[in-house]
């Protein structure tokens, strides 16, 4: 018996004969070398084995995922879905450990399903028992499950399928398949029981209940399943219907491997193909599917469990001849490449949305048993397709680092036309190393480019080739704007409601400091090195979140459940802004002082442009009595703590200033007298809120500034000649971050290296 029959899937995995009858710490990430995306079957299965092995070892250690208070029920759905994937892997792997794990779990469980008689979640583990029955355990492995199913058939539930929670928090409808997840948990097991026993009554029950659920939850307009009836009228912040990625993933994966001779097949094939067409259309450019399927792809976070189930369904559909290979193979490739970016070096699978019934925030280090099950299903189906490895473009370029210093994160841009690159996912190869790359469309008369970040030795040259697929690296840059929806103002702070990621937001004029309306009081952008936030209130200046770990953190903090002023595993807020311009903030010179903007309408916008960069744009309108405006864009790149700023002011009363908070007793540094190129002002000392050393630096093009060093007692700042053409950059180095800067001399060397990289940036050499 093939694993796909019992677990993957199919709603109607009935044979023709039957029809005739009837957490360790996160290891450091790198913007540098990673292995290529595996495509050949042996390489795909090797990665699957690595992921499965990590999960089995974690189970042996008694580890449990974040948000799960105790080990999930060993007969429950979380591990039931994991063992579905393990059974698929056992059918593909030459290693006996995975089959042994399934057999041992069945013995440990006494081959018993979960304790709730009718609940679909408690049937899921039965897929592993049925697999075991045909792989050495015999009929005893399925006897208790068969007894349970016969008990249900003797007295089937007839409760209404509408999902109504009672006062005692019970939900009567779960005695039937009233939520879309159930279509993965139960029908494949019932159908496999029919195949294994030759008794059609199990298949008949599965089909009857499947169609009842589909009639209620399947949206004919969107070709997707609602999670349950509670979601019929729910909408996201943009007014779109809410379809949960993993919820529809359960269904799509459960529809895989449709029967050939069953009379219900044409209807099921139609749903499968309609869902496939819809899911292809809404796959994100990065290969993942958004946690909320119709959500904004630019703000949606990576999520691997839904993506795993979809990738499995698409790959299976192609192999089965139900989906056109030319049309849908690119979907599989993008999905599989995305999934490889969720795997840590040690085999831990990340980006798995925690247990829940709706879209939610997710982090790289989040894992769950069912996410691993989805990954294993996807891997085995991808291996079955025997996909050819992606080949690099014939065109190659030579790049040079003219700096006298090693540049650990040299940013290189190549004209797309030079290499024949078009929109899509990219990476670059230099020697035996692979780096993330990003296609940047033509804008404002500037040609399209392909940009990437790679380490380069001083004065070194390198040959770079271009690969039209993503590098298997986790998310390293992002911009976040997280706004509370539905809360009520109690006193001076909002309570209740839910935070939603937004791409644009006009801050209401009544927004006040610390009112909890906007997570961490502003919008933010980050790389693997540092996170910055800009206050979306009258201050309008930049603050620092020092990072000890390279994972993204902004999507999860500042929502009332944490205190980012206290040290966490990732770091903390490390700068006190007060009335200064903070960390590279913009302001206006008034009475000889660099002052915060104050007042007016504030609009925020974030853009997650790709794996190499992210940006934020902030507009301050109508300050200075209503006549002044200032628009600024902040951009950060992977591997770097630098933020580049471009701003345009109009109607300003005084010069535009950019500066750094001046804490007393700090060592102040500045570049030599203007000689063209870039200069800097900086400070170093015990000025972090963690009580340790922190270095701040602001870089500026000499030609753009009117005054290059000013100190008003609270801010070190420069002023610009033209308010309509403001350009500069800023960065920080904290004693606990990954920069390696630990003392004043190290900070000076770090600033010198960065300055030389600005003055002598990497270049693409002529052919």
From-to residues of CATH 2.60.40.1180 in the chain: 396-467
CB 324 within 8 A of CB 5: no
- Going through 149-258 in order, the beta strands assigned E by DSSP cover 218-219, 224-225
pLDDT at position 68 = 62
Distance CA 550, CA 295 (A): 26
From-to residues of CATH 2.70.98 in the chain: 478-736
Q: Which residues, in sequence order, are CB contacts of 745 under 8 Å at separation 6+?
A: none
Q: What are the structure tokens assigned to 380, written together? A: 């085995």
Q: What are the structure tokens assigned to 252, written together? A: 């799509």
Distance CA 403, CA 460 (A): 9
pLDDT at position 69 = 60
CB 629 within 8 A of CB 621: yes
CB 126 within 8 A of CB 188: no
Q: List the catalytic residue out of 175, 181, 366, 543.
A: 181
pLDDT at position 31 = 38
Distance CA 472, CA 597 (A): 42
How far is the CA of 563 from the CAs of 375, 406, 493, 539, 557, in angstroms?
34, 37, 16, 21, 8
pLDDT at position 492 = 86
Distance CA 76, CA 123 (A): 8
Q: Which residues, in sequence order, are CB contacts of 326 under 8 Å at separation 6+?
A: none
Distance CA 583, CA 507 (A): 22
From-to residues of CATH 1.50.10.10 in the chain: 3-21+37-154+174-385
Query: Does the annotation mark 562 as catalytic?
Result: no
Which strand (E) or helix (H) includes residue 200?
Answer: helix 200-217
Which sign, positive or negative, has the C-alpha torsion 471, 476, 477, 479? positive
CB 311 within 8 A of CB 335: yes
List, as one string, the DSSP characters of 382-408.
HHHHTPPPPPPPS-EEEEE--SSS-EE
How far is the CA of 278 from the CAs of 216, 240, 260, in angstroms?
19, 15, 24
Place of tokens 């801050």: 507
Distance CA 608, CA 503 (A): 9
357: phi > 0 → left, psi -120 to 50 → alpha, else beta; which?
alpha
| Phi, psi dihedral angles at 233 (to 5 degrees) | -105, -5
pLDDT at position 298 = 87
Q: What are the structure tokens assigned to 25, written together? A: 């710490």
- Largest separation between any pair of C-alpha atoms in the chain: 92
Distance CA 574, CA 558 (A): 14
* Fold adopted by 3-21+37-154+174-385: Glycosyltransferase (1.50.10)
- Closest Cα partner for 358 from 504, 487, 235? 235
- Closest Cα partner for 729 from 758, 708, 752, 753? 758
Other C-beta atoms lying within 10 Å of the C-beta of residue 196: 20
Distance CA 493, CA 514 (A): 7
Superfamily of domain 396-467: Golgi alpha-mannosidase II (2.60.40.1180)
* Full-model pTM: 0.92
- Closest Cα partner for 555 from 564, 567, 543, 566? 564
Q: Which residues, in sequence order, are CB contacts of 471 under 8 Å at separation 6+?
A: 34, 37, 341, 427, 434, 435, 436, 437, 611
Name residues of the chain where pLDDT drops below 50: 1-33
pLDDT at position 259 = 63
Q: Is 229 exposed, middle or buried (0-12, 13-18, 19+ CB in 10 A)?
A: middle
List, as one string, the DSSP characters of 596-612.
---SSEEEEEEEE--SS
Sheet holding 628-637, edge to edge: 504-507, 601-608, 613-623, 628-637, 643-650, 726-734, 694-701, 678-685, 667-670
pLDDT at position 361 = 73
Q: Which residues, in sequence order, are CB contacts of 218 under 8 Å at separation 6+?
A: 224, 225, 271
CB 637 within 8 A of CB 619: no
How far is the CA of 275 from the CAs of 177, 221, 269, 341, in angstroms?
20, 11, 10, 25
Considering the domain delimited by 478-736, tell me its CATH architecture.
Distorted Sandwich (2.70)
pLDDT at position 160 = 96
CB 85 within 8 A of CB 368: no
């Amino acid at each position: 018996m093939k694993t796909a029959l019992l677990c993957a899937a199919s709603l109607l995995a009935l044979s023709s004969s039957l029809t005739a009858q009837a957490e360790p710490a996160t290891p450091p990430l790198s913007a540098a070398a990673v292995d290529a995306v595996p495509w050949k079957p042996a390489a795909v299965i090797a990665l699957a084995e690595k992921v499965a092995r990590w999960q089995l070892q974690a189970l042996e250690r008694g580890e449990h995922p974040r948000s799960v208070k105790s080990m999930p029920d060993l007969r429950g759905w979380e591990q039931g879905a994991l063992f579905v994937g393990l059974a698929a892997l056992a059918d593909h792997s030459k290693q006996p450990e995975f089959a042994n794990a399934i057999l041992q779990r069945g013995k440990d469980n006494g081959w018993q399903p979960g304790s709730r008689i009718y609940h679909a979640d408690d049937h899921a583990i039965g897929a592993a028992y049925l697999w075991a029955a045909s792989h050495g355990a015999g009929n005893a492995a399925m006897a208790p499950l068969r007894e349970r199913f016969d008990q249900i058939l003797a007295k089937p539930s007839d409760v209404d399928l509408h999902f109504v929670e009672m006062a005692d928090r019970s939900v009567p409808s779960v005695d039937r398949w009233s939520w879309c997840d159930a279509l993965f948990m139960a029908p494949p097991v019932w159908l496999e029981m029919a195949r294994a026993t030759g008794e059609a009554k199990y298949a008949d029950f599965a089909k009857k209940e499947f169609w009842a659920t589909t009639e209620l939850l399947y949206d004919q307009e969107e070709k997707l399943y609602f999670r349950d009836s509670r979601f019929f009228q729910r909408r996201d912040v943009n007014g779109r219907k809410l379809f949960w990625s993993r919820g529809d993933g359960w269904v799509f994966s459960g529809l895989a491997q449709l029967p050939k001779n069953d009379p219900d097949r044409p209807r099921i094939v139609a749903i499968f193909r309609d869902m496939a067409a819809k899911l292809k259309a809404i796959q994100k450019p990065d290969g993942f599917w958004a946690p909320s399927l119709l959500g904004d792809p630019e703000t949606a976070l990576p999520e691997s469990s839904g993506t795993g189930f979809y990738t499995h369904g698409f790959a299976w559909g192609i192999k089965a001849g139900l989906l056109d290979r030319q049309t849908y193979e690119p979907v599989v490739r993008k999905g599989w490449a995305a999934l490889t970016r969720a795997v840590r070096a040690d085999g831990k699978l990340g980006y798995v949305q925690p247990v829940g019934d709706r879209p939610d925030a997710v982090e790289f280090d989040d894992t769950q048993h069912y996410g691993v099950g989805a990954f294993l299903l996807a891997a085995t189906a991808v291996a079955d397709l025997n996909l050819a490895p992606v080949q690099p473009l014939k065109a190659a370029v030579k790049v040079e680092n003219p700096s006298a210093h090693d540049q650990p994160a040299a940013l290189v841009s190549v004209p797309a036309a030079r290499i024949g690159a078009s929109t899509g996912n990219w990476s670059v190869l230099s020697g035996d190393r692979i780096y993330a790359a990003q296609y940047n469309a033509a804008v404002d008369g500037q040609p399209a480019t392909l940009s990437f970040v790679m380490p380069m030795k001083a004065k070194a040259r390198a040959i770079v080739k271009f690969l039209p697929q993503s590098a298997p690296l986790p998310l390293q840059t992002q911009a976040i704007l997280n706004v509370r929806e539905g809360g009520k103002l109690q006193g001076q702070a909002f309570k209740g409601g839910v935070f939603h990621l937004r791409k644009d937001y006009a801050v209401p004029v009544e927004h006040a400091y610390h009112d909890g309306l906007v997570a961490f009081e502003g919008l933010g952008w980050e790389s693997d090195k540092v996170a910055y936030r800009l206050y979306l209130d009258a201050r309008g200046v930049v603050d620092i979140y020092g990072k000890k770990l390279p994972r993204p953190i902004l999507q999860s903090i500042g929502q009332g459940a944490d205190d980012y002023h206290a040290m966490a595993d990732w770091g903390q807020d490390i700068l006190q802004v007060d009335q200064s311009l903070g960390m590279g903030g913009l302001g206006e010179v008034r009475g000889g002082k660099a002052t915060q903007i104050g007042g007016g309408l504030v609009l925020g916008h974030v853009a997650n442009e790709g794996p190499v960069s992210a940006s934020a744009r902030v507009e301050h309108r109508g300050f200075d009595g209503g006549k002044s405006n200032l628009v600024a864009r902040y951009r950060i790149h992977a591997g770097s703590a630098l933020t580049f700023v471009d701003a345009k002011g109009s109607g300003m009363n005084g010069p535009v200033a950019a500066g750094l908070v001046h804490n007393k007793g700090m060592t102040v540094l500045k570049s030599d007298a203007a000689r063209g190129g870039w200069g800097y002002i900086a400070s170093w000392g015990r000025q972090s809120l963690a009580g340790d050393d922190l270095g701040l630096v602001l870089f500026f093009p000499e030609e753009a500034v009117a005054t290059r060093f000013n100190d008003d007692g609270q801010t070190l700042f420069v002023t610009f000649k033209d308010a309509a053409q403001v350009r500069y950059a800023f960065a920080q180095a904290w004693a606990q971050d990954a920069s390696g800067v630990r003392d004043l001399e190290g900070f000076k060397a770090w600033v010198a290296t960065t300055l030389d990289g600005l003055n002598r940036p990497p270049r693409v050499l002529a052919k």
